[in-house]
């Protein structure tokens, strides 16, 4: 089964080569779609080799994003929602937002879903502050606000713990099958943002 996925890796570059004239005349996005096509092959191969939950998740999500990219690039404008007013950029943003929400919904574990959501939000905020510091440096200097780079450091320092705990939860599913990891947040669980950590709960209770 995993061998058959090699065709994704073979056909992807061939499609990019054959569609080069089209890409020059219409859109370079065909290359992005072709890359996603190859990513599906890699993730599908990984899933069928390991039969793991992570592999299944990556396989399904990659297919979801390939479909989303196809809709964004080739959906005829006459089928756009009326409030989009035929603007493909706005339509693509709508598709991306819908796909991100659908990606979160594919994760049934509430703790894991929250960690992923917060990771994405914090990373987006950190990236925005970094780009703002680079692109709008003169503007921030004019208004005497020189803290955007510091904000980047603070946000990215919070983002990494969320990523670490996310991977710890995925790892525990396979490496710690007899135990449950409960996610907590420092200093308080009730806070909207905190430093995540895990508490190990042993499922094998002795009588």
- Residue-wise DSSP of 129-176: HHHHHHHSHHHHHHTT---HHHHHHHHHHHHHHHHHHHHHHHHHHHH-
CA distance to 71, 81, 152, per residue, from 146 (Å): 41, 42, 12
Q: Binding residue per annotation — 144?
A: no
Q: Which two tokens stand for residue 177?
A: 């099958």
**Is the CB of residue 123 less than 8 Å from the CB of residue 139?**
no
Q: Binding residue per annotation — 153?
A: yes
**Is the CB of residue 57 less than 8 Å from the CB of residue 107?**
yes
Known binding residues for Zn(2+): 48, 149, 153
Known binding residues: 48, 149, 153
């Amino acid at each position: 089964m995993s061998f058959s996925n090699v065709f994704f890796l073979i056909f992807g570059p061939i499609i990019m080569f054959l569609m080069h004239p089209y890409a020059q005349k219409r859109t370079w996005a065909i290359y992005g779609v072709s890359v996603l096509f190859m990513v599906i092959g890699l993730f599908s191969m990984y899933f069928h080799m390991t039969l793991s939950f992570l592999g299944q998740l990556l396989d399904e999500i990659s297919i979801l994003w390939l479909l989303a990219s196809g809709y964004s690039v080739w959906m005829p404008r006459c089928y756009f929602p009326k409030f989009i007013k035929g603007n493909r950029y706005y339509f693509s943003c709508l598709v991306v937002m819908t796909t991100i929400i659908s990606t979160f919904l594919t994760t049934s574990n509430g703790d894991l879903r929250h960690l992923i959501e917060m990771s994405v939000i914090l990373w987006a905020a950190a990236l925005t502050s970094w780009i703002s510091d680079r692109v709008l440096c003169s503007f921030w200097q004019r208004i005497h606000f020189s803290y955007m780079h510091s904000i980047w450091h603070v946000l990215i320092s919070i983002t990494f713990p969320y990523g670490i705990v996310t991977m710890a939860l995925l790892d525990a599913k396979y490496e710690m099958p007899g135990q449950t990891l409960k996610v907590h947040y420092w200093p308080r669980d009730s806070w909207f943002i905190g430093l995540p950590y895990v508490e190990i709960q042993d499922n094998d209770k002795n009588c």
